[in-house]
Amino acid sequence: MMKKSWWKILAIALLLYTFTAGFLIEVPIIGNLHQTIRNLFFHVPMWFGQMVLLLVSMVYAIRYLRSGNLADDIYAREYARTGIVFGILGLVTGAIWANYTWGEPWSNDPKQIAVAIALLIYLAYFVLRNSMPDMDKRARVSSVYNIFAYFIYVPLIMVLPRLVQSLHPGGQGVEGNPAMSGKDLDPTMRMVFWPAVIGWTLLGVWISTLSIRISKLKEKNWINA
Amino acid sequence: MPSAKKIIALFKKDLLLEIRQQYTFYGILLYIASTIFVLYLAMGRPEAGAWNGLFWVNLLFICINAVAKSFLQESRGRMLYYYSIAGALDFILAKLMYNLLLMLVMSLLSLLLFSFFLGTPFEKTINFLGITCLGGISISLVFTLLAAIAARANQNAALMAILGFPLIIPQLLLLVKISKSAFGEIFNTGALSQMILLLCGLDLMVVILSLILFPFLWKD
CB B131 within 8 A of CB B192: no
Predicted pLDDT of residue A5: 87
Measured CA to CA in angstroms, residue B93 lies from A69, B6, B79, B202, B212 at distances of 29, 10, 15, 17, 11
Q: Which of A132, A144, A163 sits opposite B216 (nearest CB)?
A: A144
Helix axes A70-101, A40-67, angle to 10 degrees: 160
Predicted pLDDT of residue A176: 42
What residue in A sits closest to B217 (Cα-Cα)?
Answer: A141
How close, in Å, is residue A152 to chain B by CA atoms? Answer: 7
CB A58 within 8 A of CB A146: yes
How close, in Å, is residue A81 to chain B by CA atoms? Answer: 17
Residues in chain B with CB shorter than 8 Å from the CB of A120 are 165-166
**8-state DSSP, B140:** H
Does A163 reach chain B within 8 Å, measured CB to CB? yes
pLDDT bracket for residue A172 (50, 70, 90)? low
pLDDT at A55 over 70: yes
Does A154 reach chain B within 8 Å, measured CB to CB? no
- Specify the DSSP element, H or E, that contains B77: helix B76-85
pLDDT at A179 over 60: no
pLDDT at A119 over 90: yes
Q: Which of residues 124 through 153 in chain A touch B, CB cutoff 8 A?
A: 124, 127-128, 131-132, 137, 140-141, 143-145, 147-149, 151-152
pLDDT at A177 over 50: no
Cα separation, A138 vs A122, in Å, equals 15
Does A62 reach chain B within 8 Å, measured CB to CB? no
Predicted pLDDT of residue B156: 67
Predicted pLDDT of residue A178: 41
**8-state DSSP, B73:** T
pLDDT bracket for residue A54 (50, 70, 90)? very high
Mean pLDDT, range A10-33, rounded to an integer: 85
Cα separation, A60 vs A211, in Å, equals 15
Mean pLDDT, range A123-134, rounded to an integer: 90
Residues of chain B with pLDDT under 70: 1-2, 155-157, 220
Cα separation, B30 vs A185, in Å, equals 57
CB B210 within 8 A of CB B141: yes
Percent of chain A surpassing pLDDT 70: 89
Closest CA to A152 of B174, B154, B155: B174
Cα separation, B151 vs B134, in Å, equals 26
Q: Which of B159, B165, B195 sits opposite A131 (nearest CB)?
A: B159
Predicted pLDDT of residue A225: 53
- Bridge partners of residue A165, in order along the sequence: A172
Backbone conformation region of residue B116, classed left if phi is above 0, alpha if psi is from -120 to 50, else beta: alpha
pLDDT digits (tens, 9 = 90+) for A66-105: 988 889 999 999 999 999 999 999 999 999 988 888 888 8
CB contact under 8 A, B154 and A132: yes
Predicted pLDDT of residue B155: 62
**8-state DSSP, B183:** G
Query: pTM of the entire structure?
Result: 0.88
Residues in chain A with CB shorter than 8 Å from the CB of B217 are 140-141, 144
Q: N- to C-terminal Cα distance for chain B?
A: 20
pLDDT bracket for residue A221 (50, 70, 90)? confident
CB contact under 8 A, A148 and B154: no
Q: Which of A124, A143, A152 sits opposite B170 (nearest CB)?
A: A152
Helix axes B157-179, A135-154, angle to 10 degrees: 10
Predicted pLDDT of residue B207: 94
Residues in chain B with CB shorter than 8 Å from the CB of A149 are 167
Percent of chain B surpassing pLDDT 90: 28
